[in-house]
Amino acid sequence: MTTGLGYPKWALAPMALALALLALPLLGLLLRADWARLPALLMSERALAALRLSLGTCLIATVIVLILGIPTALVLARSRGRWATAARTLVTVPMVLPPVVAGLALLTTLGRRGLLGRHLSALGVEIGFTTTAVIIAQVFVALPFLVVSLEGALRSSGQDYERAASYLGASPTRTLLTVTLPMAAPALASGTALSFARALGEFGATLTFAGSLQGVTRTLPLEIYLLRESDSDLALALAVVLLAVAGLVVWLATHFRAWGSHA
Amino acid sequence: MKRLALVAATLLLAACGQQGATTPSPTTAQQEPAIVFAAASLNTVFPAIADATYSFDGSSGLVDQLKGGALADVFASADKKNMDKAVDADLIDGDPVMFATNYLVLVTPADNPAGITGFDASLDGTKLVVCAADVPCGAATLKAAEANGLTLTPVSEEAKVTDVLGKVTAGEADAGLVYATDAAGAGDKVTVFDVPGAKDDPNTYWIGIVKGAPNKARADAFIATVTGEGQAKLAAAGFGPPR
């Protein structure tokens, strides 16, 4: 279990505290949940609508993240210089931005009176209050997770195989698809899982930018936030679902990373 | 060393972030100010009425916090239902008193882009934003629609009235139903229409002393101020008188 290098024994005390700090609130949530009524609660129309919307939008958002994120990570990993550093910073910013700020940013850009939204609106395209707005918010917050984890992997892996492939006559695209990406598969999978989880948890940007209507824009986190006001049992039941999905996704992500380190 | 300083700075920053909800107002007196848990809609008028340590949030969220053992002297609720919840949970000392009322109005962005003429059929097909039925302003919205024989088809049902107002002032929504005080606070950013009958069936604001208040004398004084000289400021902010 331990790697070659040990650790000072005192490190265990803060670690125990850290684990307790992280685990106890989750345990508290699980203990408060009404397990007997959980299935019935989750079968309610409100719960199902939120679940369906959340899973649907997150899947679409994750696909968009992959389409945009993989090439971005590749270019960043293979680039040096000032513009690459600037692009890298730009890509990381949404990761640490408070979600409500992300929502305001989207609103002032894509909203009906926003920088771009104004022109879109003139063309008859309005994004606010639609499921599209939810997906845009999710992509905005989830994309950095894929780019950052994939770029790190691409940068640290050697380029010998790729050089060999190109020497043997493979085109850059073929090299990417048959050599680079398969080698980065663990990082890609773990980055995908993290992006999905981030999209699933997206709250602030959706609330600010997309609104909240059952089946259209009210995702799981928004439904939980609203249910807190009226039906805390159902809010807790949905929180348990979100916790379970998040746990599963993070477990998968760790699993993929471990698989990578054995390869 | 540099890294240690960075860690310390981060922790400090995180600690500051935690305080967001309770902004201690500057105290002039030596004594500890009263700790007041008040509905979010009171967040500009209360500090103008009296100095206190305020925590503003949705009324039901505040009841949850009090149930969880949060320390407070005074609880001010934006509706009867949540004050009743607090009383039923044995959180309030004595009888709460009504200190203000608030009623729904219809607001549009200042230029009224959808050409809405009032709380009527002109709302059909527009981007109308309301509060969700789960929260007090949403329940009031449903009642008002029923009383006026309207079926509303909102594009969004928000959890907070401030989110409704925000979407109207941003021009994202064509119209929204908010409280008169929210409309007063938004000034000339919105155009206001009356909701027929809303004034006769207003939302009522209640205030009471929290059981086990660390500073009961201060709590009494605070409530006396709100129900006394504070009434003028409440009226100026758009609140109706208690009834």
B101: left (phi over 0), alpha (psi -120 to 50) or beta: beta
A114 DSSP assignment: S
**Quick one: pLDDT at residue A3?**
64
Fold observed for domain B14-101+202-236: D-Maltodextrin-Binding Protein; domain 2 (3.40.190)
Q: What is the pLDDT of residues B30-74, one digit of tens each?
A: 467 899 999 988 988 999 999 999 999 888 889 989 998 899 999
- Given a contact cutoff of 8 angstroms between Cβ atoms, the answer to whether A34 and A41 are in contact is yes
Confidence band of B169 (pLDDT split at 50, 70, 90)? very high
B240 DSSP assignment: B
Q: Where are the alpha helices (DSSP H) in chain A?
A: 12-32, 38-42, 45-77, 82-96, 99-110, 117-122, 131-156, 160-167, 172-175, 181-183, 185-201, 204-209, 220-227, 232-262
Collect all residues of chain B within an 8 Å Cβ-Cβ radius of residue A222.
159
How many Cβ pairs closer than 8 A exist between chain A and B? 61
A216 DSSP assignment: T
**Of residues B149, B184, B151, the one with CA closest to residue B44:** B184
Residue B216 to residue B166: CA distance in whole angstroms = 37
Do the chains contact at B167 and A211, CB–CB below 8 Å? yes
Average pLDDT, chain A: 89
Question: Cα–Cα distances in Å, from A29 out to A41, A43, A238, A239, B37?
Answer: 16, 20, 11, 8, 25
Q: What is the pLDDT of residues B118-146, one digit of tens each?
A: 999 999 999 999 999 988 889 899 999 99
Q: What is the pLDDT of residues A152-186, one digit of tens each?
A: 999 887 778 888 888 888 888 888 888 888 888 88
Give the mean pLDDT of A27-43.
89
Confidence band of A260 (pLDDT split at 50, 70, 90)? low
Do the chains contact at B64 and A228, CB–CB below 8 Å? yes
Amino acid (one-letter) located at A199? A
**Quick one: pLDDT at residue A9?**
92
**Quick one: pLDDT at residue B18?**
42
Question: CA A184, A187, A189 angle in degrees (round to 5)?
Answer: 105
pLDDT of residue B180 exceeding 80, the answer is yes
Question: Cα–Cα distances in Å, from A1 out to A4, A6, A117, A260?
Answer: 10, 11, 54, 17
Amino acid (one-letter) located at B131? C
Question: Cα–Cα distances in Å, from A94 out to A140, A141, A144, A148, A249?
Answer: 7, 6, 7, 11, 21
Angle between helices A220-227 and A232-262 (to 10 degrees): 150
Q: Which of A213, A225, A231 sits opposite B157 (nearest CB)?
A: A213
Q: Residue with structure tokens 């009642």?
A: B143
Q: Which domains does chain A have, with CATH numbers?
A: 50-262 (1.10.3720.10)
Do the chains contact at A112 and B172, CB–CB below 8 Å? yes
Give bridge partners of residue B38 from the DSSP assignment: B56, B76
**Quick one: pLDDT at residue A198?**
92
B154 touches chain A (CB under 8 A): yes
Residue B66 to residue B228: CA distance in whole angstroms = 26
Do the chains contact at A128 and B127, CB–CB below 8 Å? yes
A184: tokens are 């980065």
ipTM above 0.85, yes or no: no
Q: What is the pTM of this model?
A: 0.80
* Chain B interface, best mutation among A212, A223, A236, by max B CB count within 10 A: A212
**Quick one: pLDDT at residue B10?**
47
Residue B36 to residue B54: CA distance in whole angstroms = 5
| Residue ranges of E strands in B27-183 | 35-39, 53-57, 74-77, 92-102, 104-109, 128-131, 156-158, 175-179
Which CATH number is B104-200 given?
Answer: 3.40.190.10
Give the mean pLDDT of A194-222.
92
The per-type count for chain B, helices as H runs and strands as E runs, is 9, 11
Check if B14-101+202-236 and B104-200 are the same fold.
yes
Give the mean pLDDT of A207-236.
90
| Residue A144: Cβ within 10 Å count | 24
Confidence band of A259 (pLDDT split at 50, 70, 90)? low
Amino acid (one-letter) located at A130? T
**Quick one: pLDDT at residue A246?**
86
Confidence band of A146 (pLDDT split at 50, 70, 90)? very high
CA dihedral A206, A207, A211, A217 (to 10 degrees): 50
Q: Residue with structure tokens 């997309």?
A: A210
CA A157 centroid distance within chain: 24
Q: What is the pLDDT of residues A52-66, one digit of tens each?
A: 999 999 999 999 999
Do the chains contact at B60 and A228, CB–CB below 8 Å? yes
Q: What percent of chain B has pLDDT over 90?
A: 66
Residue B103 to residue B200: CA distance in whole angstroms = 8
**Quick one: pLDDT at residue A254?**
82
Residue B2 to residue A103: CA distance in whole angstroms = 34
Give the mean pLDDT of A13-30.
94
Q: What percent of chain A has pLDDT over 90?
A: 50
Collect all residues of chain B within an 8 Å Cβ-Cβ radius of residue A211.
129, 155-156, 158, 167
Q: What is the pLDDT of residues B16-41, one digit of tens each?
A: 444 434 444 444 344 678 999 999 88
**Quick one: pLDDT at residue A162?**
83
Q: Which residues of A186-223 are buried (b: 16+ CB within 10 A; e: fewer)?
A: bbbbbbbbbbbbbbbbbbbbbbbbbbbbbebbbbbbbb
Q: Which of B61, B64, B132 sits opposite A212 (nearest CB)?
A: B132
Which residue ranges make up each domain of chain B?
Answer: 14-101+202-236, 104-200
First to last CA, chain A: 18
Question: CA B229, B70, B57 angle in degrees (round to 5)?
Answer: 60
